[in-house]
Structure 1
Amino acid sequence: ASSNSATPPEPADVREELVAERNNTTAEGTLEKVDSDPHVQLRGRCSWTLSLPVNGSVDVVPLSPDSADALAEQICRGLTCGGVYHVNKTSALANATCFRDCLYKDHRLLNCSLSVRSDCVVVTAAVCGHHAVRLVGGVDRCAGRVEVWSESSWGTVCDDQWDLRDAHVVCAQLGCGYALNVTGQGGSFPAGRGRVLLDELNCTGNEQNLWECPAVGKEDTDCGHKEDAGVICSEMRDIRLSGGLDRCAGKLEVHRNGSWGTVCDNCWNVRMASMVCSMLQCGTEPQNFTRFYPPLRHNNGPLYYYMCNTAEQSLWKCKEFVNRSHLCVGFKASGVICKGSLGFLTASTADPNKMTSLTTAPPTAAVGGAIIPPELLFSMSVSLLLLLLLIISTVLCCHYRKRHAFLLQQRNTNSRLSSGFHQTKHEDTVDLVKVTNSQEQTSGQ
């Protein structure tokens, strides 16, 4: 209710009375003075909120509930931003001084009436129709068919003269970086419905929305929905599995900023692999997500690491780290084979002349019921080979040492025999001389 007097005063008198009331001492004991009319504060070309300068600061602007929607429409039209797309409102304090029946001009609310009410509202944010744009039919909010808002409904954009400059306006408006690629008739995004609102756009790329670009309006367009324009922005987030026999198996790759990177398998687990299969519409159960042989290698692109809680249903909801080298040192790329997939294509090692064989799990061996990974098998084989070489070397070394000792002993023996023979011969010669001398002495006698 407004005033309880039998003859309500003129709106100007009410305004003066309530402004004076607002200038009285508040509960905190400070003076609150209305310096000027409420202002329209722009948060973008076609988004805004209201504020009231008070004592050098800014206060909210309570509005009567029956006039808030009409005022929002008036402001959006005055900003040449089309009609209202969305308005966020909250309740004002009880018995607040509310503004109503205002006129918008030059970012100000003029000629407002004031009343004290208990059901006033505060506009916290308003978005006009020309600020509203979306991309539909893609894997992410930064890729898809372009749709704009007009007269309480969504409509599409014709692909006639649609190029990267036009698309850049959309990507920038959505906070999706810049345009990587544009699509049109025969593109990868499905056709839309409703009206075709813009045709033959000729943007420079610096506009804040498509409505600022020179174009043919909906009344003069000759386009159908088979010619709906689309765009892929640089901030599009996407995933794919590469290197498998179908799209449901392979090394996990993540798209961002126009390039594809890989995911470190540090802390990679079955829950995260299940997320990937679900996001790719390959079921929810991974057949294999680890121990790939040969190991999956990283690309030359960015390195991603994800930390997920049990509540997340999508990889994009997890905490993401990019190019944190300490999280990826010594780790390979992540991959997954979703249940029902054909798996990987690997070369056969049995016969190089035979056709390649299909594998959906890495080769393993069972010892006592336990599965031994191929890396451990390789290490064990190398260790056994080195042990065998050590044993052979030891045996050969012992053999050659014995042979060397035998030859040395034989040579020493031969040397001693030769020395004994010469000594015997000398003794025989001495004895012969003695015998000869004895014979001569006998005959002389």
Structure 2
Amino acid sequence: TKQLFSILDGPYNCSGRVEVYNAGQWGTVCDDNWDLLDAKVVCRALGCGAAQKALDQAHFGGGKGEIWLDDVECSGNEESLLSCSSDGLGSHNCGHFEDAGVICEAGLTVRIVDGPNHCSGRVEVYHDGSWGTVCDDNWGFLDAQVVCRELSCGPATEAPHQAYFGKGSGSILLDDVACMGSEGSLLECNSGGIGNHNCGHDEDASVTYDGPLIRLVDGPDQCSGRVEVYYAGQWGTVCDDDWDVSDADVVCRQLSCGWAMDAPGQAWFGMGVGIPILLDNIACVGTEGTLFDCPSEAIGQHNCMHPEDASVVCSAGPSIRLAGGSNNCSGRVEVFHSGQWGTVCDDDWDLKDAQVVCQALSCGMAQEAPGRACFGQGSGPITLDDVSCEGTEKSLQDCIGSEPGVHNCDHNEDAGVICSRQVAGLSDVSI
């Protein structure tokens, strides 16, 4: 039976954005609740082996057209993604920046195993249905860099030889690897050819990444969310005691997300579940390379609970927030531009414009688009005027309107929105 879903725009046939076919057209899957059990169904059904990763936030680029599935919940044993629980075909509260993706075993060409974390260990490559090791002849820093970048790890710090993380088993698949450092995959580098070698497993090649790993989780994009750090084999959260913009600056810079615009606490982007709290009382100057370089309590020592998980909102990308409303999905519309928050004038403001705001904030559908400072007058600049959206844009800045800062309004004309749902702890995000 022909499957009604596919994997697109990944580097290999078995990795990419998940799409579903319905009513004569392909559409995407929202990443709400997307996890390895869901990815397992996709990978198995498409003959791509075991699921390796369930990726979110349009990791392989946003799709076009419909979003067909949201809140997918599979047990992992279903024959098709369409057999899993969901909100129903076409029902969602997402934008394409939340499109779900997968990396299946047959779509993963390199992995790092038997090290202290998923970015340090023995290098193995996948070929013809099985994993094999890489010989350390000519193995160097540029080769290790390609591996780390392919796996979305930080920059490699070392390229150890002589089975530093233990001997592998099975085939030795690569030898005399000679990367330039810019390749997208280790298999694109010059080598002696798949399976050609004069090595034993005591020469298995490895990589190390000594810096702490960090990620932002449950935000609307890769540059805002709950802060999580990786240490001793597990991810954990950061307590918001003493958490401020100087601490958030370190996170944003480490993730190449610009500078910190906000450092919300109190689990602004939701609480970490089933993971420890690893850092507390962080006191960064703001110039440190990583959070682990900042003064803090010893790793794992804290007096916090997950309702105190720290978050960041970084400057990368345009930004929007609601202020002065009765809940997280209603209020005065404010946008971030040139380092400061400003309001939107209500000239031509209507439900289509409000819909862009509500969708970007995961607040459902726009119910009202009030003007005349319904939620109180803002302060500072008036950033946008004469906004005219189609209703499908990802951001107000994508809509037709005057140039930022050009207007003929006063703050008694500040625009607002009332959306159909309330999202706890999500009223100020980067989109």
Q: Please, what TM-score do these two structures have when normalized by structure 2?
A: 0.42
Q: Please, what TM-score do these two structures have when normalized by structure 1?
A: 0.41
**Relative contact order (C-alpha < 8 Å, sep 6+): which is higher?**
2
Based on CA coordinates, which of the two structures has the bigger radius of gyration? 1
